[in-house]
């Protein structure tokens, strides 16, 4: 059987997704993590959970329009239409790979912003107050990935999709497998789960973030040493945006040709 370009791109996306899931099947805890676990205040993770949840709530209610002022939405929309027309007319791999390449370029700029902000906060010995900056930069990155594949982000369905991406991106083991499959079903069904409540999903996404960033945020509260913790903002941002690109790429291919 001879595969067309869309099918070849689908297979490539599937391989990248498998590699992401396979890598996340086992979580490795470093010696530093084991050491820091004895030093972190008991209530710090709870504070992180609340800080992330508050950031999501505020941005979803009134912050998206502010985030949109930091990039040219119309330009991204126009570029997507041009790329889509080219892909429909040519149907070759070169035209199809412009979409993930463009999404990746947008993400790289947000990685730089995240790392820079985190290092700056680390030098000052400020950990938790940068949660709003991190969350805003993360959502900006996901919004840009969505636009590069032709999707918006304002509806409740899209907010669920984004929150679920964040939750699953930082999961490990059996949960990663199960929730990735659940997200893939949503991509096909396009309907919210019967038991969906935004507050509950925000809590799940916030818990994933705080569990992964807990040790780095603690380091970030220590002047000078906090530079190390702040730099890890970009590491986690990269992981989230990589997974977001995979999920939007899957949606795009399913919705258009596969």
Q: What is the DSSP string of the chain?
A: ----HHHHHHHHHHHHHHHHHHHTTSPPPPHHHHHHTTTS-TTHHHHHHHHHHHHHHHIIIIIHHHHHTTS-HHHHHHHHHHHHHHHHHH--HHHHTHHHHHHHHHHHHHHHHHHHHHHHHHHHT--GGGHHHHHHHHHHHHHHHHHHTT----SHHHHHHHHHHHHHHT--HHHHHHHHHHHHHHHHH-S--TT--HHHHHHHHHHHHHHHHHHHHHHHTSTTTHHHHHHHHHHHHHHHHHHHHHHHHHHHHHHHT-
228 pLDDT more than 50: no
Looking at residue 9, what is its pLDDT? 96
**Closest among 129, 90, 83 to 252, alpha carbons compared:** 83
The pLDDT tens digits of the residues spanning 149-171 come to 999 999 999 999 999 999 999 99
CA distance 258 to 242: 22
Model-level pTM?
A: 0.86
The model's pLDDT over 100-145, given as tens digits with 9 standing for 90+, comes to 999 987 766 655 554 444 433 343 343 455 788 888 889 999 999 9
Separation CA 168–CA 135 (nearest Å): 16
In the chain, the N- to C-terminal Cα span, in Å, equals 15
Give residue-wise pLDDT tens across range 35-90.
Answer: 555 566 667 778 888 989 998 998 898 888 888 988 899 999 999 999 999 999 99
Q: Using CA atoms, how far apart are residues 85 and 153, in angstroms rounded to an integer?
A: 22
């Amino acid at each position: 059987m001879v595969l067309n370009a869309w099918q070849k791109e689908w297979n490539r996306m599937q391989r990248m997704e498998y590699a992401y899931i396979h890598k996340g099947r086992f979580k490795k805890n470093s010696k530093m993590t084991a050491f820091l676990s004895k030093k972190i205040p008991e209530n710090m993770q709870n504070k992180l959970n609340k800080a992330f949840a508050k950031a999501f709530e505020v941005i979803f209610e009134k912050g998206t329009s502010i985030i949109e002022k930091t990039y040219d939405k119309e330009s991204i929309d126009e570029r997507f239409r041009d790329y889509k027309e080219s892909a429909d007319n040519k149907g070759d791999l070169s035209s199809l790979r412009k979409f993930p390449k463009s999404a990746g370029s947008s993400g790289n700029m947000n990685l730089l912003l995240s790392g820079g902000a985190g290092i700056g906060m680390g030098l000052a010995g400020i950990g938790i107050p940068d949660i709003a900056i991190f969350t805003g930069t993360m959502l900006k990155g996901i919004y840009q990935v969505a636009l590069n594949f032709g999707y918006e982000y304002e509806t409740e369905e899209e907010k669920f999709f984004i929150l679920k991406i964040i939750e699953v991106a930082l999961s490990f083991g059996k949960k990663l497998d199960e929730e990735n499959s659940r997200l893939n079903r949503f991509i096909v069904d396009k309907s919210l789960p019967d038991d969906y409540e935004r507050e509950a999903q925000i809590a799940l996404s916030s818990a994933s973030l705080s569990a992964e960033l807990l040790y780095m945020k603690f380091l970030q509260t220590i002047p000078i040493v906090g530079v190390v913790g702040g730099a890890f903002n970009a590491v986690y941002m990269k992981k989230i945006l990589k997974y977001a690109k995979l999920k939007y790429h899957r949606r795009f291919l399913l919705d258009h040709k596969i």
